[in-house]
């Protein structure tokens, strides 16, 4: 299994999907084989789970149910898409992965980090990001950019979103080699920073 597994992380409204699209175009122009995925989602079943997880009418979901559904969506995505693409030596750009679970269900909801690490490892079957871009933005500004409480997670209180942001920054400082923290700025400058970092990474590792 030797493609390149790149993940994008960040709080609500951090601009991940715009940056992923721009990076995909850039890498494809350079002749790279790229697969873009999102979590939860990107398989038929994982997209079904995404709808359940983000539906505001499902506010009754227990914290543990929520955790297990995110992990179930991941288990299916890893098996159906991520492992096969890495075996074909593709570059996989994934919008969120295990770090999201550590911060949203761990720091955010207070679920046990050890349990999340154990179950996350179990469903990921050895697929671990080689490189992660963490797009950092203050919670309130991100929520404003995201356009208000449009899903079950976004409608959580500001204090929850602050825990998520701080959790991310903590993960960033614990894993400085893998996680590149990029402060929110305009689209073009953010993309330039991402391209510079990925070029450096490709030179060293491919
Ligand atoms: P997004 O892809 O539009 O950011 O929406 C996904 C939402 O799901 C976002 O609020 C973060 C949340 N999430 C978790 O809470 N735990 C997870 O493990 C993942 C992958 C996402």
Q: Is 161 in the pocket of ligand 1 (CB under 6 A)?
A: no
Read off the pLDDT of residues 189-202 as tens digits, 9 standing for 90 and up.
Answer: 999 999 999 999 99
Judge contact between 175 and 102, C-beta under 8 A: no
Indicate the domain borders of the chain.
Answer: 4-205
CA atoms of 71 and 8, how far apart (whole Å): 17
CA pseudo-torsion sign 122, 6, 178, 137: negative
Q: 12: CA distance to ligand 1 center in Å?
A: 9
Q: How many CA atoms lie within 13 A of 92 on its CB side?
A: 29
The answer to whether residue 149 scores a pLDDT higher than 80 is no
The class of domain 4-205 in CATH terms is: alpha beta
Q: Does pTM top 0.75 for this prediction? A: yes
Q: 33: CA distance to ligand 1 center in Å?
A: 26
Segment 8-19 shows an average pLDDT of 95
pLDDT for res 1:
60
Instruction: Locate 156 and state its tokens.
Output: 């959580």
């Amino acid at each position: 299994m030797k493609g390149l597994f790149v993940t994008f992380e960040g709080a609500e409204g951090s601009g991940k999907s715009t940056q992923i699209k721009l990076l995909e175009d850039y890498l494809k122009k350079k002749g790279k084989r790229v697969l873009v995925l999102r979590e939860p989602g990107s398989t038929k079943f994982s997209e079904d789970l995404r709808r359940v997880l983000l539906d505001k009418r499902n506010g009754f979901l227990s914290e543990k149910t929520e955790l297990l559904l995110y992990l179930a969506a991941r288990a299916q995505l890893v098996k159906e898409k991520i492992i096969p693409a890495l075996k074909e030596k593709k570059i996989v750009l994934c919008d969120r992965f295990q770090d999201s679970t550590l911060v949203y269900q761990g720091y955010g909801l207070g679920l046990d980090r050890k349990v999340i690490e154990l179950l996350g490892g179990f469903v990921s079957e050895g697929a671990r990001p080689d490189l992660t871009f963490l797009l950092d933005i203050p919670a309130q500004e991100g929520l404003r950019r995201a356009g208000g409480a449009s899903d079950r997670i976004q409608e959580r209180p500001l204090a929850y979103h602050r825990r998520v942001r701080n959790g991310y920054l903590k993960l960033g400082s614990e894993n400085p080699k893998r996680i590149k923290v990029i402060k929110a700025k305009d689209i073009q400058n953010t993309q330039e920073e991402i391209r510079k970092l990925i070029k450096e990474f490709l030179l060293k590792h491919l």
